[in-house]
């Protein structure tokens, strides 16, 4: 038998259940490297997070079809992997080669048959010895990962019928969702084209197993518009293209302003007592909970008193959908732009628990490692714009939420206490709400609930 090289091209999958493109952030392999099934080969940026995409093929990297910084449409070639296979005139072997070259999803099914459980980040093949994946630092010369020698492609069966049905799953996010909720993909009947298992199928299985209340539904993103030809250069003018991240932010903010009739109220708050409480808990060995964790807890308590603000509006059915769970969104500024990941289940946490969760979430968000659920499941947003050393802001509501609370910087100001002028720690809170779900009385009631807790934190915590 002789050998020939069979190249298989992996198309960029839908990494956001409807997103039409992704930006190549960093290649983790180079042309000529050997890769194995499930090895992460590239970091791409979707809506608001960076994810690693694993290869469904084993072999040598023949072609990288896009450069770093380039935006690639879903369904376009991402990487071609070449593997040495035995040549034969046998019809079955020829049929296998045809299957290996196919890019219509057959390789994904065979990957599942071989036992691959990788979805995006941190999930290896069950029962295996690992993927051998290593990340290449920026600027470093690419090197082949330390793995067992690869002499051929991942096994592909020649059988046209088996006793075990192989699930059709293309999107890594669908596999990740199934993995996280222990959903057996073999038990699902796909409703997508040609029996493809889509996100709705997995979510339906999750709902049947354990109905979950309090998670907002997400509407399908708008389809991409036709490409616009580049503008002619003009002297003295410099054009900066919007990347995929910034376009997503732009669309979300525009939709919020276009659809939500918002109103804003604000109040100055004496935060001296809260400041002193925080300082009293700090030691050399333990800094104690931060101010934001206390305020987050007061916000959660305020939302329990005014649940209409922890909600979304179903415009089709003309219903307010209130959530039992408080998934508290936090506005986080990153190198790539603003993201709003959520502390999931904040209503169940203590002040110390919120402090740990907030620190962990904001750190991962700045690294682009917040999960898809954290980036999409928020039910209310808290925005600490005081970190930018400003006092106030009329924020834009994070659609489809119905309200956002902002906190300005805490500074020393003259303040009257019991008829006496003194210096106090003062901050300004602003509250933007959807006027369709409530009126000013409810908004003011929520604001005062949070403000009163900040001004008398000891009493507030005792009631929680």
Q: What is the pLDDT along the chain (464 residues), one digit of tens a residue?
A: 444 556 889 988 876 655 678 888 889 999 999 998 878 899 887 765 677 888 888 899 999 999 988 888 888 999 999 975 544 444 444 443 444 334 344 444 443 333 333 333 322 333 333 334 444 444 444 444 443 433 334 443 334 334 445 566 656 667 777 877 888 888 888 887 667 787 788 888 888 876 544 445 444 444 445 566 777 778 888 877 776 667 777 788 888 888 899 999 999 999 999 999 999 988 888 889 999 999 999 999 999 999 999 999 999 999 999 999 999 999 999 887 889 999 999 999 999 999 999 999 999 999 888 998 999 999 999 999 998 899 988 889 999 999 999 999 999 999 999 999 999 999 999 999 999 999 999 999 999 999 999 999 999 998 88
Write out the two tokens for 290.
């931060």
Buried b (16+ CB within 10 A) or exposed e, 134-143: eebeeeeeee
pLDDT on residue 121 = 31
pLDDT (0 to 100) of residue 172: 64
- Does the domain at 245-463 match CATH 1.10.1050.10? Answer given as no
Q: Find residue 359's DSSP bridge partners.
A: none
DSSP secondary structure string for all residues of 95-143: HHHHHHH--SSHHHHHHHHTT----SSS---TTS------PPPTTSPP-
For residue 197, what are its two tokens? 């298992």
What pLDDT does residue 124 have? 31
β-strand 337-339 against 319-322: which pairing, if any?
A: unpaired
Give the tokens for residue 77: 């070639």
Dihedrals phi, psi of 397, to nearest 5 degrees: -65, 140
- Locate 72 and state its tokens: 């690639």
Residues classed as catalytic: 435
295 and 405 Cβ atoms separated by less than 8 Å = no
Q: How far apart are CA 14 and CA 201, in angstroms?
A: 16
- Which residue in the block uniquely carries the two structure tokens 């990941």? 341
User: Which token pair is 69?
Assistant: 């910084």
Phi, psi for residue 194 in degrees, rounded to 5: 70, 25
Instruction: Give Cα 216 to chain centroid, integer Å.
Output: 14
Sheet holding 21-27, edge to edge: 49-54, 40-46, 21-27, 71-73
- Cα separation, 460 vs 464, in Å, equals 7
**Whole-angstrom distance, CA of residue 304 vs CA of residue 460:** 14
Residue 118 and residue 434: Cα distance in Å, rounded?
41
Domain ranges of the chain: 3-127, 245-463
Residue 448 CA, distance from chain mean position: 32
The Cα–Cα gap between 428 and 440 comes to 18
Is 414 exposed, middle or buried (CB count within 10 Å of its CB: 0-12, 13-18, 19+)?
A: exposed
CATH 2.120.10.30 fits 3-127, yes or no: no
Q: Say which residue the tokens 């993103």 belong to.
A: 221
Instruction: Decide the pairing of beta strands 380-383 and 328-330.
Output: parallel
Q: Are 47 and 16 in contact (CB under 8 A)?
A: yes
| 106-113 and 91-101 helices, crossing angle to 10° | 110
Predicted structure pTM score: 0.59
CA–CA gap between residue 428 and residue 390 (Å, rounded): 10
CA distance 248 to 375: 13
Note if the bond before 138 is cis, omega within 30 degrees: no
The answer to whether residues 86 and 13 touch, using CB atoms and an 8 Å cutoff, is no
């Amino acid at each position: 038998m002789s050998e020939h090289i069979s190249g298989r091209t992996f198309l960029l999958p839908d990494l956001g259940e409807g997103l039409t493109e992704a930006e190549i952030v960093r290649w983790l392999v180079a042309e000529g490297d050997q890769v194995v099934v499930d090895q992460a080969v590239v970091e791409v940026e979707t809506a608001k997070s960076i994810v690693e995409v694993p290869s469904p093929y084993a072999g040598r990297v023949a072609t990288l079809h896009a450069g770093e910084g380039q935006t690639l449409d879903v369904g376009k070639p991402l990487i071609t992997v070449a593997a040495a296979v035995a040549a034969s005139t046998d019809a079955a072997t020829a049929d296998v080669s045809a299957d290996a070259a196919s890019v219509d999803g057959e390789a994904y099914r065979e990957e599942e048959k071989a036992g691959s459980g990788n979805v995006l980040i941190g999930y290896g093949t069950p029962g295996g010895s690992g993927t051998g994946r290593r990340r290449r630092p920026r600027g470093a010369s690419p090197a082949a990962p330390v793995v067992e020698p690869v002499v051929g492609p991942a096994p592909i069966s020649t059988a046209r019928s088996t006793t075990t049905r192989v699930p059709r799953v293309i999107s890594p996010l669908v596999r990740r969702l199934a993995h996280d909720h222990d959903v057996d993909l073999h038990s699902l009947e796909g409703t997508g084209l040609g029996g493809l298992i889509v996100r709705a199928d997995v979510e339906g299985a999750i709902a049947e197993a354990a109905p979950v209340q309090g998670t907002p539904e997400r509407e399908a993103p708008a389809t991409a518009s036709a490409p616009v030809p580049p503008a002619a250069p003009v002297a003295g003018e410099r054009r900066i293209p919007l990347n995929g991240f910034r376009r997503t932010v732009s669309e979300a903010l525009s939709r919020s302003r276009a659809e939500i009739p918002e109103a804003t109220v604000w109040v100055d708050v004496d935060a001296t007592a809260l400041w002193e409480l925080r300082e009293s808990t700090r030691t050399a060995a333990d800094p104690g909970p931060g101010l934001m964790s206390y305020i987050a807890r007061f916000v959660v308590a305020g939302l329990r008193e005014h649940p209409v603000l922890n909600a979304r509006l179903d415009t089709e059915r003309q219903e307010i959908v209130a959530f039992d769970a408080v998934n508290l969104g936090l506005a986080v500024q990153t190198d790539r732009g603003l993201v709003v990941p959520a502390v999931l289940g904040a209503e169940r946490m203590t002040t110390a628990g919120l402090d740990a969760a907030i620190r962990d979430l904001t750190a991962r968000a700045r690294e682009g490692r917040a999960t898809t659920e954290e980036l999409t499941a928020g039910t209310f947003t808290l925005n600490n714009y005081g970190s930018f050393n400003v006092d106030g802001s009329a924020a834009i509501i994070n659609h489809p939420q119905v309200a956002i609370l902002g906190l300005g910087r805490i500074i020393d100001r003259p303040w009257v206490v019991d008829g006496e002028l003194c210096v106090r720690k003062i901050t300004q809170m602003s509250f933007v709400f959807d006027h369709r779900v409530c009126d000013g009385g409810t908004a003011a009631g929520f604001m005062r609930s949070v403000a009163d807790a900040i001004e008398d934190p000891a009493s507030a915590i005792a009631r929680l």
